[in-house]
Structure 1
Amino acid sequence: MELRLLGGIAVLVDGRALDLGPARQRCVLAALAVDAGHVVSVDRLMRRVWGDEPPLRARATLRNYLSRLRLLLAEAGSPALTRRPGGYVLEVERSTIDLHRFDELCAEARATDDHDKRAALLQRALEQWRGEALTGVTGDWAAAERDRLGQQLLGAECDLTDALLSLGHGEDLVAPLSARAAQWPLDERVSAQFMLALHRAGRTADALAHYRQLRDRLVEQLGTEPCAAVQDLHQHILTGETPTRPERPVPRQLPAPPRWFTGRDAELEALTLSSATVVISAIGGTGGIGKTWLALRWAHRHAAQFPDGHLFTDLRGFSATEQPVTPDAALFGFLTALGVAPHHVPAELHAAAALYRTTIAERRMLIVLDNAASAEQVVPLLPGSPSCTVLITSRHELASLIDRHGAHHLRLDVLARHESRALLTARLGVERVAAEPGAVDELIELCGGFPLALSITTRIATHPGTTLAEVAAELREFGLATLDHDTDPAASLPAVLSWSLRYLTDEQRTLFGLLGISPGPDTTLPAVASLIGLSPARARKALTALEEVSLVGRRHDRYVMHDLIRAYAADIAQGLPADVRESALVRVMDFHLHTAIAADRLLDSLRPLVPVEPPAPGVRPLPLPDAATATSWLEAEHATLIATQRTAAALGRHELVWQLAWTLDTFHIWQGHRHTALTMWQVALDAAAHLPDPARSRTHRLLGRACSRTGLHDEAVGHLGQALELAVRHHDLTEQAHTHRSFALAWDAQGNDRMALEHVRHALDLYHSLDQPNWEADALSAAGWYAARLGEFDTAREHCLAALTLHRLHHNPAGESATLDSLGLIAQQTGDHQQAIGHYRDAITSYRAHGNAYYFAETLDRAGQSHLALAQHDQARAVWEEALELYRDQGRDEDAARVRRQLDDLTQPQP
């Protein structure tokens, strides 16, 4: 398979071109192919195909294009188009794409000093071109990419001409250079090559005439004289000397390498790989994350690869007091460092940028643009030739730089634990770190891998007599305030973070603050829309602005903040009006509660509803189409829902505290979150003291059940006793029945099946008298279970069959699963293992469908025993391995250890 971009876009398989479909579908393929082997985000793909304002259904349309391309390539036996975390990647050998072959050959040519070899490599590189790049692909990105690739083509052609001139060529180059000079009349490198070829061909008068034409054009159109190199060449031709390359200044502007730089091996390798084929690498990340240190470490490590010099400027995009450096000011500094006389630097930005590109066109240079504010600030400083490599650092993502100029983006995250320890060791010394290992671990945890925070703690630790334990205690007690510095803003984490707020609107700053106090470790767009009370479109725009300045990160569809940034955001929130903070918290808590209620109804539609107030204005609960989606949402939001209950308790929203515990109870039971359920009901018990019955009796009942599931048997009986007393006092027969049912579970947990059966019969009588068939079926099933455990198999079977009829009549799949499991136990204990497996299989199918993982694990466990009894060892192993995984996920260590022993016994030789 060959993929062509340097001409009309085409995929060739055995010489046959595939039909790539409509123009935008071809654009999707091109957008992936230019970054082959690298993940391209969905947002970036959309920008490349539709620009900055994609149509409403752009994501759905993009998915259709990707599906068609994946099928097309797969049918042709081509490499896969794969979905990866964060986007899509075209998994293909880069050498099968003409653009990347061109890049690799040019890079190899630049790396050799052998003119013959360089010329041969460049000839092969230029043979990859069959016309204008990306022909037939429309849009702003394609146009910008064509322009970029056209500049690379010109650079390669000029490099080849230089190599041929160095080998003594002259007259044979006049014709192609004449056409090139006509196409690029202001390009001084092309003009110089043309002049030299004319001179060597004996046409000195024509060479001098071309110089005069070039000078006139530059003066008239750009207001500048030819550069020093062209003037020197002109002088050599005038004097009749053999032209040689003039001596040129070699700037060495890199600041000193970072003294205590540690780790970042993967990032350094990524920059090395990208520099081989990509001119520009943009290092992004929040303030204090170590972007400049990474750029300088890489620059010093690879400085020898750039014999023509290194340029460096701090663009001051994010600074305490200074304004960002303007592009013309940065260009003036670069041009004078490159030997251009100050009075020859054009006043107009476009002219200065043209002179800059001309001056460095044939040089192998490294340009480091640190602390950029925007792509507009950077673009005039980009070279036009691939012989140079550019490193850019910025808190902004610089999306247009990535899309329109082919920059390779590297987002910098926090340090890993071992890298954090290495940094502390480098700053404090091996002995001191070894002397206080516990304090070091706590500092690493509290700093969360944030390089600036770690550096500030080491500075504090250098004060005479200060121990690391004292620094950790101060950081634990005072948090972000410990990392502040009154006199040196650059050494203060809050100050460094504050510089990112400069580019935000009031709405975006408000959202940043509210994210600091919003419950949960991360969040989603629908939750954020409710938090700030905006439409999803406006909320997304505000989130994108925070993401672009690296105050918020994104993992798939979730938005995250580093703990220290969250603490800073919480400080910002304290500056907001109290009613703004309170209203935002009410909205986001209502969003999570009402979405959780919808999820709970999908899991168990027969469960009693509790009264709940409508959500606050501006809240848009998430629509959930089915039980599987509901379970996925509850799993993804579990930590946030727990945090929401804590926040509600702190704000005195007692009803919401109780409603969250109730709403999540089924999910907790089914997924085996026993300890979380216990904690949430303990919090709900405090809230229930402020609520009327039946909230208090229900809370004692459900807390008692949670205690019994976690082995707190005395506490379970105590709470259930209080629940029953309250239910009797208020003549609540339904609550009395539920409490007897919970008593049965409590005695079951203690292995007392006789007491369990007695309580479940009390519940059964009450449910029957109240005409509640769903609960009656549940009690019948439970009675059958305990009867079977006591050896009363005929009674057990009778109860279970009656329960199964009721469950199916009232469409209760959860109850049906449990009853099928009970019938499986009856058959197993009466020796009919084949029938037992049939019942267990039906129960397993039902459990899989509605997601009750807790009882599902137990059914798998029991099914394995019947498989073993029938000598079906492979089937036993399969169900026990699945049960083992579920037990481990649910923290049921004793059950997991028992099943592990059962699996180990299977591996022993059978008698």
Structure 2
Amino acid sequence: MADMWFTVLGPVRVWRSGAEVDLGAPQQRAVLALLLARAGHPVSLTEIVDVLWGESPPATAVNAVHRSLGLLRRALEPGLTNRDPGRWLVRSGGGYRLAVGADTVDLLKFRTLLGQARTDATLFRGALDLWQGPAASTIAAEIRSRPVFSALDREYEAAARAAADAALAAGLPGLVLAAVERAADRAALDESLQARLMLLLAATGQQAAALHRFDKVRASLHDDLGIDPGPELTAARARVLRPAMQPAGSTERPVAQLPPDPSSFTGRRPQLAALSLLTGDVLTSDLLTGDASPSTVAISGPAGAGKTTLAVHWAHQVADRYPDGQLYLDLHGFSPAGQVMDPAEAAARLLESLGVPPHRVPAGLDARAALLRTELAGRRMLVLLDNARDTAQVRPLLPGTGTCLVLVTSRDRLAGLIASDGATPITLGGFTPDEARHLLTRRLGTARTTADPGSVDEIISRCDGLPLALAIVAARAAAHPHLPMRDLAAGLRRERTVPAWSYHALTATAARLFRLLGLHPGADIPVAAAASLAGAGRVRPLLGELVRAGLLAEPVPGRFAFHDVLRSYATELAHTVEPDPDRSAATARLRDHYLHTAHRAALLLAPGRDPVTLAAPEPGTTPEPLTDQDRAMAWCTAEHRTLQALLDRGDDLHTWQLAWTLDPFQRRLGRVHDRVATRRTALTAAERLADPAVLARTHRDLGHALTGADRQAEARAHFTCALDGYADLGDLVGQATVERGIGATYTGSGQYDKTLQHCLRAEELYRAAGHRPGIAQALNEIGSMHAKLGEFRLALPRCEQALALFRALGDRPGEAACLAGLGGIHHGLGDHARAIEHYQQTVDLWVTVGDRGEEAATLIRLGDVHDDAGEPDAAGTAWRAARSILREAGRPTAEIEARLHG
């Protein structure tokens, strides 16, 4: 077999044994380009004719194609007769195909390298280097403009974006810089790609070049399209400027996540002295220059020894030495509820705390850990990783340089962290007798502890000097000021443990609540959930009794938490003391509390969404009465980990319904990976339920989640399953909704023509079903696609029709979204006055609806139009209003700062 090499990623060329093959006339080269673009798949005669001549083929078109194919065959294999089957150009599937593989054509080799690059980012550069120009660049421009070739160019641009993301996440920006720069030069108006190039340039120390790139793209956008840079490009500029902006008085506040400094802290003088000595050494060495090696302190000891208390107290003492802020994360390493935090989730939460938007957090632990090191590089921060399971949980979360100080607490000695990562060990045991006596004296007063020193010594001994046990005794003694110390000591003699002694002193109703709280899977519990768990209307007095007994804490008003030791004890009692029927009923009430409250939150966050029908909650369940979107978001944020934990704790219907309720919250926050994982759990439950309608709906929802995670091919596979399911059910509305979902999978890669086709199909189906809300959505999306294709005149009537429908239906969020689209269309048409009018109406509607996030986003666009219209004062007013909203919500404002100070 001849040594052949075909190229279509640039000029269309063929080499045989190192010598270039003469491909003959331009028409033959165009036919070959199409066959190569189809990468080994059959191409029909009809498609070849369509690509060569479009809608006006000559009468001799088919004969001309056959002639070109014959000449091409002989060019590829000289000496081949018409009767010979041939090796390369073969008949297949009623058409023709090139029998090529990844070893013979650049396109397939490119795709193979991309697939491998998911686990080895260095392969991105090799894939991108295969491109020698626009796809099929040597064929006629009219033919090269066909979608089959422009799709290849978009594939190249998508690969460049993925390469940039991978390189930034891996901390290797120089790896693909040149290749991404070439891609960006060929796609001058691709703002997403240009933004990534700016970040690569900045990450390699070329801030000036990054800013020059921004100015160049801004000029091109203005001259060619009459628009300003969008949010992604503007945000990239702000990120490049961030080091320079902060000294000038940036409004971004340092992260400050440390829990409150324990007011009752006592003892631990030797450990504090060792810690202070360590900190002093770090600060007087290389911390200020950034040349120090990573500094990590591992505080270990048994449960109840006060590791977290020591770490938090000392962190507050030195926090001012870390001006870029403090991060705190409870890793739940020894949680009895089985909620040990996965290192990948921990990395994602730290990245979000550092201001990385959730949708920009990569999938996979290695990529997240690399991005975390990049984000921490150069920052002077204190990081407290509390309650770690072991070294494996912690190591991916460590910074790469010594400008940060990391405190880790664990029951494990973390020997690997000490031996391999140079962590300084601090070991805690029980208090010394003097420290323990001092703690009791501070809590109970000198008179009480000196009146019976022998009993105090016995109490300290029976508590093993552990601060948690001593605190529980002190709480009991403080609640009963007339109880002699000898009686407290005698009570401890009769019980196995201090928690048991304190538990048996509770009232019966408080003791029952203590047991039931052990069934709750979250880190803490609000009053309303505790009431549902107990099946009682008033539980706050009982929670207060548990707090006074030292068995429960109230770290923030209205939320109650166990120490892990006490949680383990409560869980043990729940399974050994609480009767099985009572325990099952409490679990059912807890499940229904979260399901019904989450369902209410989902309807508030996505009011146009088709609801699911829930069964009535169990008697005694009191779901929280959420009344607006802000309360819904706050509740979901506080309860997200508990909701995730409950996913696997109910029957399949409950699991599927709970997953449905989580989707709007995860979508709003951009938690793309959580959303995919949740929908996969729902799909497993739906498959066991074997309900065709539920299964179709779940495939559809998973398709949407995968689309948001930029996994378009996988999304289309699930959408296809949903489409088949809805077709079998005869559900036209379901089919229409899926068609819109399939269309959305093409939008991210700029294939707006394909998106438009599916939206048009959705409109037909909605009209056949008489589904007016769907018709409105489809019309709005059709208009949006026309606008993205630059067809503003076609977009305008579609969106105006959609607006009339939304108003007739009373769909205020739909009306607002449509008005925003019309604002963009008029902006694109150069009609600034109409654009401003529509954007202002949009802002007013979002205020009415109560969606502050959308209000801020629209104000930014309103300011952009004012700025483009030469009205800087009005632009500044709109941008400052948006900034105020984002600050109130604790969200980044760098994008707006760049506009205000750019």
TM-score of the pair, normalised by structure 1: 0.45
Which protein is bigger by CA-based radius of gyration? 1
**Which fold has the larger relative contact order, with Cα–Cα distance below 8 Å and residues 6 or more apart in sequence?**
2
